Amino acid sequence: MDDYNLPFWIYLAVVTVFVGGAMKKILASHLSAGPTLVAWLGATVLVERLWAFCLPAVLLLVLLAVVCCVRSGSGTGPPPGPPAEGKAVFITGCDTGFGNAAAKHLDSLGLDVFATVLDLTGDGARALRRSCSSRLTLLQVDITQPQQVQQALLDTKAKLGLRGLWGLVNNAGVCVNLGDAELSLMSNFRGCMEVNFFGTVSVTKSFLPLLRQAKGRIVNISSPAGDQPFPCLAAYGASKAALNLFTETLRHELVPWGVKVSTILPSSYKTAPSSNNAYWEQQHQQLLQSLPPALMEEYGEDYIAETKDLFQSFAEHANPDLSPVVNAIVHALLSPQPQLRYFAGPGIGLMYFIHSYCPLSISNRFLQKLFVKKTLMPRALRKQSGLEANLGLSNNNNNEEKLQPL
């Protein structure tokens, strides 16, 4: 022990804190077995030389495996939290996707579900009526309209009577993007903010008195795009970043009231309207008609068309199984100790691990390889590259002529 000087012990302490924080995030991220094993091995190699004198690397790996098995085993099955019966949950955006699936599942568990839809006569509303019990209450609400939010609050209060509201699931959201931030219409930025941020804030503020009364839960469906710079998702990502900060602030402020707040970060899932080819074509045509001619000339119609095709292909290959997100919603509502953040879907935990602990250059390259992998440059850059190449070739020819013997 005497051979180790003070700088070594300081270095050991720093590395221990780093590795401990990394493993804490891994264990809380619901990573699949493969990436988790890679993370274990990496952590073991990192500390092997430092801890060889007091803790063999094999023993460290065994301890990490045992801890992870205990954690993963305790996370399976229904959470041993408060009983579902008699508890009321308000969910926004139940026409399709996560909201529709969550409303059905929560109704099957015995909760009183208040589900908002944009159209009471639409397919989503009809499907909920067919498959759910009489406890389900359908409400037509556009969360960007304060009058409709207030009417939904009055209707919910009338049904609850003296009870408070146990859960609020802010699921309603939109993603309207087809390209670079410069090409995104201002209406896209405003539309995403109105629904994903301002609408969610409006619903949350309106229903907070009922949630505080029940010491209940708030579950906000956000996106990794709110934390990381996904290419071509500037408007959507900015609105989700605002939502994430609002959620974090709300979590701290509601601790004295006993209201717990969770964020769910889904991976890519196949939800309407993103799975509809006509939707992408409509967005593409709208963008082409709205761009100024000068901007269209600099980027090129082929560049914009490739972006549309990449988004469409990405949506077509998205996961159709919504159960990881639904299970996360249920856990956040009914677990006695809900997590602050749920990484719902394969690869999300690994993505956040890379984002948190790797250099930005690696994290950004990972996102570029993972998401929209463009092959075309904007037209102006292609012309510039062609001009530079021609100039370079011309200069080489001139130099060769000058070097010719007389």
User: Can you list the positions of beta strands (E) in 44-185?
Assistant: 88-91, 112-117, 137-140, 167-170
Q: Exposed, middle or buried by CB within 10 Å (0-12, 13-18, 19+), for 180?
A: middle
Please answer whether residues 170 and 250 qualify as being in contact, where contact means their C-beta atoms are separated by less than 8 angstroms: no
Question: Active site includes 357?
Answer: no
Rounded CA separation 325/230 (Å): 20
d(CA 82, CA 334): 6
Instruction: Compute φ and ψ for 181, nearest 5 degrees.
Output: -60, -40
Q: Report residue 228 as tokens.
A: 């990381």
Beta-carbon contacts of residue 82 (< 8 Å; ≥ 6 apart): 334, 336
Question: Which entry of 4, 11, 236, 279 is annotated as an active-site residue?
Answer: 236
DSSP character string of 174-200: -----S-TTTS-HHHHHHHIIIIIIIH
Q: Is 255 exposed, middle or buried (0-12, 13-18, 19+ CB in 10 A)?
A: exposed
Known catalytic residues?
A: 236
